[in-house]
Structures are given as C-alpha cells and as structure tokens.
Structure 1
Amino acid sequence: MLQGRRHIQPLQQQLLVVVLVLVPVTVLAGPVSGTVRTITRAGMTPAATVLYAEPIATAAPRRPGQVTITQRNKTFLPAVVAAPSGSRVDFPNQDTIFHNVFSLSGPEPFDLGLYRAGDSRARTFTQPGTYRVFCNIHPQMTALLVIVPTPHVTVAGKDGRFTLDLPPGSYRLTAMSERAAPVSVEIVSTAGASVSPELVLDESEWVATQHKNKFGQDYPAAAYKR
C-alpha cells in the first residue's frame, strides 16, 4: 500500500501542474467613462447616442445577446437599442391592439407581420447595421435599433455621459445617433487607469421627415387618429 501511494504522488503533482497551466488568466477591465457633446439647433433636444468600441489589433469577441423592444401605449420601449451582431431581438406586443413591426433599412430589412395583443415575435440580426423600426399601422411608433460588430456597446445617458468596461488594449471608439454622422476616436484602455474621451456629434443639419409604411407609401390620414 505504501509503495502504491509513492507511485500515485508524482502523478498527482503532474496533474496539479497541468490544471494550473490551463486555468485562464483574468485581466481586470479598464473603465472608459466619457462624454458626448451634441451640437443642435436652438430648441432641439439631442437624439440618444450609441457608443461602441472595436479592438484595433485583434478581432472583436463574438458575444451575441438578447434584447427586447416592447410595444406599449403605441410606443416602442426603449426607443433606442444597441446590441452585438448575432443578437436576438424580441418584439412583444403589450398593447390591447394589433401591431405590425417592420424596417426597410439596414442590411437585413424585416417585416414581422400583423400580430395580436399578448403575442411576441423575434428576429436574430447577424449583420451590423442601423435599423429604423416602425409599425405599419401606427405611424407615431418609431425606434432605432443599432447592431454593432463588438460586444462593447452602450447607450449614453441624457446628459451625454457613458461608461464602457474594456479589457486592456487599443480601441476605435465610435459615437453615433440617427441625426448625425458617426464620429470615431482611438483610445487605449489600461488596467487600473481611467480614460475619459469626449466626442462631438453635429445634429444641426438634421431635418425631420415623415417615414413611409412598409409598402413605401404614405400612411393614410386615418392612421394618425388610431
């Protein structure tokens, strides 16, 4: 028995070494807290801003998620949603009436068809792009869905402030809204250090236009009274 234990002990030591080598090393993320300043015309409220960071030297990790855009009181909630490519987006109808969610923009236009109160439909978005989402019955219902090629994404607060937790490395940080051209800066995230970039979006040239229904036609006048 004693001899058997002596033979087992070196094997246990070898297994211990292997286990220690295979355990991944976790690197603390570096906080990136910055501000987006939006230039607008007098009296105009800035649109919500989406920010995302793409690694410069390596490919972004693939981490699809699941997000929800709810239909309630003839409104999409939230009105602006951002998610990594490959994510599933659920569109539950929490109203007491029918809705027909669709988008004619982005690389993957879609039409979820007509569905009743209490039902929900979903779609998975595999390609990055910007989708303006509408209801084919109620023209007042609008939302913005932004699919990005990185899991490092957020929506800035109403005050323009945002925070992203990034592993150490170099990134291209992009800010965008539906009313302004995207703006990008390069940043370096370092463990234990903070980065505080400021980005500026110009929405001063934006002009509101009425969108079309899913057939590319104007909504009937009665639709604005529903």
Structure 2
Amino acid sequence: MGRGALILLLSLAAPLAAAQQGTVRGEVRVTVQGPDGRSVPKADRSGVVVYLTGYTEPPPASEVDMAQRNKAFQPSVVAVVAGQKVRFSNNDVVVHNVFSRSRAQKFDAGKNRPGEDYTETFKKTGIVDVYCDIHEQMVATLVVVPNRAVAVTGPDGRFVLTGVPPGTYPLFAVHRRDERSDVSRSEVTVKPGQETVVSLELTETRADDSHADKRGRSYSTHPDGY
C-alpha cells in the first residue's frame, strides 16, 4: 500500500470513528434542607462532577490548573483523567500549602511561596480532598475519573459528555468535598451517533467543611492562618 493510500484510509477512518461515538446530555437537580427542615431546590448547581465509568482512556497531555488566590482554591472543584497532572500555583502574597490525606491519593507540597508552583500527577481514580495546612478555610475537590467523558456543571446544573463509545455504562454525579459525599448513580445506554438525555438528583446534606490538618490534628492557628 502506497503512502498516499494509507493517508487516505486514515483520513476516512477518523470521521467514521467519530460518527460511531455518542453524546450524553442532561441536568443535575440539587436539593438542600430549608429553614423549616424541608427539602428545597438549590438555585446554584455549580461544581457537580458528572462522569461515566466502564472504560478507560489515556489522559490529556495538558495540565489542569488550580490557583491559590485570595486564600481560596480557584476553581474549587476540578475533574481530571487518571494519569493527568494538576498544577497548583500560589497567586497570593502569602505562603500556602497543598495537601491531601484522601485514600485515593495522599500528598504534601510543603510550603509554597508567592509565585511558586507545585505539580502532582493523579494516577488513581477517586475523590481527592485538597486543603491548605496554613489556611483552614481553603478547601477544594479533585475527582479523578477513568476516561474523558466528564464534565463539571455550572449554575444551571447542565452537562454534556461527548465522544462516548457505544455501550451501557454507570453514570455518576458527585457534589461533595469529602469521601462521605452524596453520590448519584444511574445507568445510561449510548448509541452510535446519537444523543442520550438524562436527569440526575442529588441531596446536599453536609453542613460545614471542618477538617484536620495534614498531621490529622486540629488547626493550631486562627482559621485564616496568616
């Protein structure tokens, strides 16, 4: 086979493979407990991670950025594919730390001065709670997933998962910041070149983000650190 014929076959194969893939589109509804104890819809449904399992894909080559700015992690919720890198950058004028004691991945960046970066590779799927050992109020969540069919919702709770191979898969939605998170699980069937529409429900129950420092102890400084 000549080079020209091979190039032609490859150029034809890419659109064909894309045509065989499907899309999952939907909305996550979140309820919270109102002042009277009754469940009410939550207006802002940002930060829900929706993803499929059942198959694996290599991670993107690009890094995911999570900045430390105004004594907060920005964004506070990110999704990464197993094997992908996350870069934590200190954009404040104070010293920060990044650590996690989660089962999915434990790490400690030490003290990061203003302008410094720290990069960590997340190899195992799961939920990773991220904190700063200096500023107790700094809380973030990493959800490490097995493939690229993942999205993080905006305020309207909507999501789109593209490039999904045909098949039936577990579909998850995670909205909490620790391993006691509320998790919505359902099943979705994806057909070649078609769009599947789903609706998911989550109940927000956790009242606060209290946590231990990287040694497993209570924070010894004021919650704002320095």
User: Which bin holds the TM-score, normalised by the shorter protein?
Assistant: 0.7 to 0.9
Structure 2, unmatched stretches of 5+, are 36-41
Between 211-220 and 26-35, report the one with greater CA deviation: 26-35
Q: What's the offset of the Cα at 1:39?
A: 2.0
Query: Contact 1:47–1:178 at 8 Å: present in 2 too?
Result: no
Coordinate RMSD, CA, aligned? 2.3
In 2, Cα distance between the equivalents of 1:207 and 1:218?
Answer: 18
Partner of residue 38, structure 1: 30
Between 37-46 and 84-93, report the one with greater CA deviation: 37-46
1:91–1:17 CA distance, 2 compared to 1 (3 A)? closer
In 1, Cα distance between the equivalents of 2:165 and 2:97?
Answer: 43
In 1, Cα distance between the equivalents of 2:46 and 2:220?
Answer: 27
In 1, Cα distance between the equivalents of 2:25 and 2:208?
Answer: 31
Partner of residue 182, structure 1: 183
Structure 1, unmatched stretches of 5+, are 1-13
In 2, Cα distance between the equivalents of 1:60 and 1:192?
Answer: 20
Match of 2:57, SS state, is: coil
Partner of residue 132, structure 2: 135
In 2, Cα distance between the equivalents of 1:75 and 1:209?
Answer: 13
Query: Contact 1:129–1:148 at 8 Å: present in 2 too?
Result: yes
Equivalent residue runs for 1:79-158 within 5 Å: 79-158=76-155
Identity over aligned pairs, percent: 34
CA deviation string 1:17-58 (max 9, x = no partner): 555445534323433220111121116765621011234xxx
1:52–1:178 CA distance, 2 compared to 1 (3 A)? same
Aligned length: 209
Structure 1 or 2, whichever has the larger Rg, is 1
Q: What's the offset of the Cα at 1:184?
A: 2.1
Query: Contact 2:53–2:147 at 8 Å: present in 1 too?
Result: yes
Query: Contact 1:32–1:166 at 8 Å: present in 2 too?
Result: no
What TM-score, normalized by structure 2, do the two folds share? Answer: 0.82
CA deviation string 1:55-99 (max 9, x = no partner): 4xxx32222441011011111000001010001000011111111
Q: What's the offset of the Cα at 1:220?
A: 2.2
1:173 to 167, 171, 174: 171
In 2, Cα distance between the equivalents of 1:138 and 1:129?
Answer: 24
Query: Contact 2:137–2:224 at 8 Å: present in 1 too?
Result: yes
2:218 is aligned with 1:218 = yes
In 1, Cα distance between the equivalents of 2:147 and 2:7?
Answer: 31
In 1, Cα distance between the equivalents of 2:210 and 2:6?
Answer: 63
